[in-house]
Structure 1
Amino acid sequence: MVDDLREDGFLGGRLRIVQPARGYRAGADAVMLAAACPARAGQSALELGCGAGVAMLCLGARVPGLRLAGLEVQPAYAELARRNAAANAIAAELHQGDLARMPAALRDRDFDHVIANPPYFLDGPSAPDAGRGLARHEQVPLALWVRAGLRRLRPGGWLTLIQRADRLAAVLAALDGRAGAITILPVAARQGRDAGRVIVAARKGARAPLRLLSPFVMHEKPSHSADAEDLTAAAQAVLREGASLSLGGRDSR
């Protein structure tokens, strides 16, 4: 159980999300992930490792009429996701369990979309908060995240991931032979900087060639010079106004 909580606003305050004050808190990456998912009303979407539900609920807020589900290994975070879905009046079913041992309630189902923000770090200093450490440091191999997502997709369904740019090779290796129409969107903090993140979308069973898009730039100024926010217009639209993040050409077979 998480006792020390705080409420954060997302999508310009449209969503109010309760998260641990000292544990793992989702931020811009979760919003970007949700914005990149090409879901349409009436479709189904599953988030693997949903935490407190930020990405899943941002997706539900942007695309009303989705059938949403989330899977989270940490019971306290799964309970927060249930609480946040109810508080924001977004219908979503939450499952507590490990994607490496998929719960029976999800094992025989398929979805139009699967989204995930797998842990970024292979190693490094452990976080003082156990929940934060588990969310940030890889326990289940990245390849298994990709394969678990593909297994939950219907033929032609889309898997959308956000990950550190230096782990792109591992994502592509896990997709090889299993999905196509792969689209990669590098995300850079500022113009001229190396991308720190990549958003990768892939279609199950597709054969279309890989596409590498121009970088999405988050901040307007060349360097951080004040506490004031300096988001680009495109980032403002996604993070504050709930705009979609088009990866283009995703009807390709």
Structure 2
Amino acid sequence: MNGLTCDALLGGRLAIRQPEKGYRAGIDPVLLAAAVPAGAGQTVLELGCGVGAASLCLGARVPDLRLTGVELQPAYAELARENARANGIALDIVTADLVALPAPLRAQGFDHVIANPPYHLRERGSAAPDPGRETALGEATPLAAWIDTAARRLVPGGRLTLIQRAERLPELLAAIDTRLGSIEILPLAPRVDRPAKLVLLRARKGGRGPFRLHSPLILHEGFRHERDGDSYTMAISAVLRQGAALPWPK
């Protein structure tokens, strides 16, 4: 793959090579990884892992995880392997379609499944000119298929953690069947008094807890952008710069 950049994540703890043009990991996979309630020694499967940003951020925060990523695009899958080696984090990458996983992977169960599915329905808006970016951002596989694959791969009591655009929350909830429960939604709002643009979802396989819609987590200080710099809140800055866990409501 031509035209690569090397970008620092977690305040320089990780160096991620990714396409200069095409799909590029921003803060979304970092926030996703920070929201995963994983513990040392557990197993994690990421669906649609791209260049490995979310899995590697999670591996940098939680020791001794057994990480597996599934990526459809071979060039991105190979970058994920290279990024894992370069950062010294064990991450097994499987190049496959998430709706047609190879038999060895279908035989495994995981404590956690994480995903950052494409945000855009292709009947809305225009396709991205770069094929890699279009595959990553333009939905070809329905959200229901992502949820079904996740539910199948989770062990009883295992957890799904997923990030998605807020406008697609109704579709996301409609895709969840009785295999998953104890659903929690954490909206992510850019600033105070601004509507949430993203949501984080947590669910447990076999969970019986009530549905919980939490108050929005605010990403930036102030009501508007008033100075140079990123202006992240202290909690979000700790996630992005220091690899801290996301402050999930109790």
TM band (smaller chain): over 0.9
Structure 2 equivalent of residue 53 of structure 1: 52
State the TM-score, normalizing by the size of structure 2: 0.97
Which consecutive residues of structure 2, in runs of 5 or more, have no partner in the other structure?
none
Tell me if structure 2 keeps the 8 A contact 1:36–1:160.
yes
Secondary structure in structure 1 of the residue aligned to 2:218:
strand
Out of 218-227 and 73-82, give the one that drifted further.
218-227
The Cα offsets for residues 189-228 of structure 1, whole Å up to 9 and x where unpaired, read as: 1111000000000000111101111111111121123442
Structure 2 equivalent of residue 135 of structure 1: 136
Query: 1:85-234 counterparts in 2 under 5 A?
Result: 85-123=84-122, 124-234=125-235
Tell me if structure 2 keeps the 8 A contact 1:45–1:112.
yes
Structure 2 equivalent of residue 37 of structure 1: 36
Structure 2 equivalent of residue 13 of structure 1: 12
Return the alpha-carbon distance in structure 2 between the equivalents of residues 191 and 7 of structure 1: 33
Aligned length: 248
Structure 1 equivalent of residue 70 of structure 2: 71
Out of 138-147 and 99-108, give the one that drifted further.
99-108
Return the alpha-carbon distance in structure 2 between the equivalents of residues 238 and 174 of structure 1: 29
Secondary structure in structure 1 of the residue aligned to 2:246:
coil
Tell me if structure 2 keeps the 8 A contact 1:183–1:247.
no
Query: CA RMSD of the aligned region, Å?
Result: 1.0
- In structure 2, relative to structure 1, the CA distance for the partners of 1:246 and 1:151 (3 Å cut) is farther
Task: Note the C-alpha offset of 1:100.
Answer: 1.1
Aligned-residue sequence identity (percent) comes to: 58
Return the alpha-carbon distance in structure 1 between the equivalents of residues 56 and 143 of structure 2: 23
Out of 99-108 and 178-187, give the one that drifted further.
99-108
Tell me if structure 2 keeps the 8 A contact 1:183–1:213.
yes
Task: Note the C-alpha offset of 1:132.
Answer: 0.3
Return the alpha-carbon distance in structure 2 between the equivalents of residues 90 and 110 of structure 1: 21
Return the alpha-carbon distance in structure 2 between the equivalents of residues 154 and 83 of structure 1: 29
The Cα offsets for residues 135-177 of structure 1, whole Å up to 9 and x where unpaired, read as: 0000000110011111110000000000000111111111131
Q: Give the residue type in structure 1 aligned to 2:19.
A: P
Return the alpha-carbon distance in structure 1 between the equivalents of residues 234 and 58 of structure 2: 20
Q: Give the residue type in structure 2 aligned to 1:195.
A: A
Structure 2 equivalent of residue 245 of structure 1: 246
Return the alpha-carbon distance in structure 1 between the equivalents of residues 229 and 197 of structure 2: 21
Secondary structure in structure 2 of the residue aligned to 1:240:
helix
Q: Give the residue type in structure 2 aligned to 1:76.
A: A
Return the alpha-carbon distance in structure 1 between the equivalents of residues 230 and 173 of structure 2: 34
Q: Give the residue type in structure 1 aligned to 2:129.
A: P
Return the alpha-carbon distance in structure 1 between the equivalents of residues 46 and 38 of structure 2: 12
Return the alpha-carbon distance in structure 1 between the equivalents of residues 93 and 16 of structure 2: 15
The Cα offsets for residues 91-129 of structure 1, whole Å up to 9 and x where unpaired, read as: 010000000111223111110000000000002211111
Tell me if structure 1 keeps the 8 A contact 2:70–2:94.
yes
Return the alpha-carbon distance in structure 2 between the equivalents of residues 148 and 179 of structure 1: 12
Task: Note the C-alpha offset of 1:248.
Answer: 4.5
